Amino acid sequence: MKILVTGGAGFIGSHFIRYWLNHYLTDQIINLDLLTYAGNLENLKDVETNPNYQFVKGDIADAKLVNELMPGIDLIVNFAAESHVDRSIINSADFIKTNVEGTRVLLEAAKNNGGLRFHHISTDEVFGSLGPNDPKFNELTPYDPRSPYSASKASSDHLVRAYFHTHKLPITISNCSNNYGSYQFPEKLIPLFVTNLLTGRKVPVYGTGQNIRDWIHVEDHVRGIDLIIKKGRAGETYCLGGNSEKSNLEITQAILSLMGQPESMIEHVADRLGHDQRYAIDFSKARNELGFEPQFDLESGLKKTVEWYKSNEAWWKKLKNNSNNKK
């Protein structure tokens, strides 16, 4: 099988490519990535010499380039997305271009080249915010996005479903909870806090830190995507969660404990605009239909993640320095 992976130099996409090449030794992968700030070819240093792997630098919204890559492709897996809520609040234009228009271009290419199998990576943020006692998100939860980022992802999800209903394109969608693990860009909560502490800086907690998220280790996420690709029903959505609901403050305290740091390293900062209170995923459908089950509990996953950042300072220091220089 020949697969076009978009956004494969990013955090989750790079884990997917590594996983796939390690598990399906005869499959070929083309990685299409524009290498914006969160795309990093160093994430894939260990596979760049694999004869079944090819990197192409480019934009998923570039219809000419996308169609040039289609010959021989059997499957498109779309990770490419602008994904940081704070950045979308400051400027939403790139989010609309990549997440909506880019997805449309890929869907058109899949439709016009024989009706290719298409898997779309989405987020639990499209469902909005839960109250403390609300049931968890599932595949039937109405969409209620609250940020420009989540609105753009909701739009792309609707487009993907429309191509199934209108054009019979064999699509699937996965909505996942918050990912964490190695190679995550150090603006996200867990790598930001770990790398701040490793450089003697405090960790900025929004508001009181009582916002709750469900956390899934990235290796569990890509394993779930594999199950959806192999066993998922066309036209269906599958929610993937880590069964690890924690408040941001609890996550912060767990990181501090793992790193032997006092709670005085916490700095409470002004809350994010429109900050959703709680996300939680019910992945019963993926469990019952696909056999999906997270293999990492939060304690072991966090420990593995912290150790990776401790051992890979050269990787994240360059990114952190570049990010700080642009502020």
Residue 318, both tokens: 């360059």
Range from 55-69, 134-148, 310-324 carrying the lowest mean pLDDT: 310-324
**What's residue 324's pLDDT?**
52
% of residues, the chain, pLDDT over 90: 89
**What's residue 323's pLDDT?**
55
**For residue range 183-233, what is the model confidence (pLDDT) as tens digits?**
999 989 999 999 999 999 999 999 999 999 999 999 999 999 999 999 999
Burial class of residue 8, CB neighbours in 10 A (0-12, 13-18, 19+): buried
**For residue range 263-317, what is the model confidence (pLDDT) as tens digits?**
999 999 998 887 888 999 999 999 999 999 999 999 999 999 999 999 999 999 9
As a dihedral over the C-alpha atoms of residue 188, residue 194, residue 199, residue 201, rounded to 10 degrees, the angle is 70
Q: Just list the catalytic residues.
A: 124-125, 149
Q: Nearest to residue 236, comparing CAs of 304, 323, 140?
A: 140
Residue 283, both tokens: 């992945």
**For residue range 75-96, what is the model confidence (pLDDT) as tens digits?**
999 999 987 787 888 889 989 9
- Residue 38 makes CB contacts below 8 A (sequence gap 6+) with 10, 11, 83, 84, 185
**What are the sequence ranges of the domains in the chain?**
2-185+215-243+276-296
CA–CA separation, 273 vs 86, rounded Å? 9
Residue 22: is its pLDDT beyond 90? yes
Q: Is the dihedral of CA 202, 205, 209, 214 positive or negative?
A: negative
Tell me the one-letter amino acid at 262. P
CATH topology of domain 2-185+215-243+276-296: Rossmann fold (3.40.50)
What is the CB neighbour count within 10 angstroms for residue 132? 8
**What's residue 50's pLDDT?**
98
Task: Determine what percent of the chain falls in helix, strand and coil, rounding each to the nearest 5.
Answer: 45, 20, 35
CA–CA separation, 43 vs 45, rounded Å? 6
CA–CA separation, 325 vs 89, rounded Å? 21
Q: Residue holding tokens 């996953």?
A: 301
Residue 321: is its pLDDT beyond 90? no
Give the C-alpha distances (Å, rounded to integers) separating 68 from 6, 108, 109, 158, 261: 14, 13, 10, 26, 52
Q: Strand locations in the chain, DSSP E?
A: 2-6, 28-33, 53-57, 75-78, 117-123, 171-176, 178-180, 203-206, 212-217, 236-240, 245-247, 266-269
CA–CA separation, 14 vs 12, rounded Å? 6
% of residues, the chain, pLDDT over 70: 98
**What's residue 244's pLDDT?**
95
**What's residue 274's pLDDT?**
77
pTM listed for this prediction: 0.94
**What's residue 86's pLDDT?**
78
